[in-house]
Amino acid sequence: MTHDALTGGFSDAPTQSARAFRAILDALSRPGTIVTVTGATPPAPLSQAAGLVLLTLADGTTPVHLAGAADTPAVRDWITFHTGAPLVAAAQATFALGTWDALAPHDRFAIGTPEYPDRAATLIVELPSLSSRGPQLSGPGIRDRATLSLPETAAFKANHALFPLGFDCILTAGNRLAGLPRSTKVESA
């Protein structure tokens, strides 16, 4: 384990994790809303927002899958030290982290069962940028309509069609994040 793995976590964990949890909750409960966050400095190539999500939501009981460029020794060590989360294959993941392309095929992640729809995976999707332009969103938590830059629309439409099953997404770019739960309907811009 390198020295870098020991740094970059919360300096005031009780306060920072409570604020981060609130920011993530706001983003997921109001799809299309972009939230700016601070408090984590994970190793490259992870964004500050992705690191903050893992610090806040992952622990020793939440399996994490790292895809593509996110699967590095430095990232693995950082997650292990700061969260204790086990690193697993895609099918066993509660959280999966990577770019949209690296996470493909998306149907390899858990979508829950009719009895336990909450046993679905949450994908933490790293994007180069995040903006309020793009496909239209509607559904719970959205007054009228919202828009959000998404890597594509077809997969999100298919995911919504599975509701109440399906995966949830937290989109991250730099120090910004947005939520896209499976209950959100996505339509082309």
Walk along the chain (189 residues) in steps of 10 and give the mean pLDDT of each run: 76 92 97 95 96 97 98 96 97 98 97 96 98 96 94 96 97 98 92
Instruction: Quickly count: other Cβ atoms within 10 Å of residue 163's Cβ.
Output: 15
**CATH code of the domain covering residue 9:** 3.40.50.11310
Nearest Cα to 83, choosing from 146, 20, 171? Answer: 20
- Reduced to 3 states (helix: H, G, I; strand: E, B; else coil), residue 96 is strand
Q: How many domains would you assign to the chain?
A: 1
Report the chain's mean pLDDT, rounded to a whole number: 95
Residue span of the structural domain in which 10 resides: 3-187
What pLDDT does residue 1 have?
A: 67
What pLDDT does residue 125 have?
A: 98
Q: What is the pTM of this model?
A: 0.96
- CA dist 80 and 74 (Å) reads 10
Q: Output Rg (C-alpha) for the chain, integer angstroms.
A: 16
For the stretch 74-96, pLDDT in tens is: 999 999 999 999 999 999 999 99
- Reduced to 3 states (helix: H, G, I; strand: E, B; else coil), residue 40 is coil
Which ranges constitute the DSSP H helices of the chain?
13-29, 48-57, 73-83, 100-103, 154-161
- CA dist 41 and 8 (Å) reads 4
* Amino acid residing at 163: F
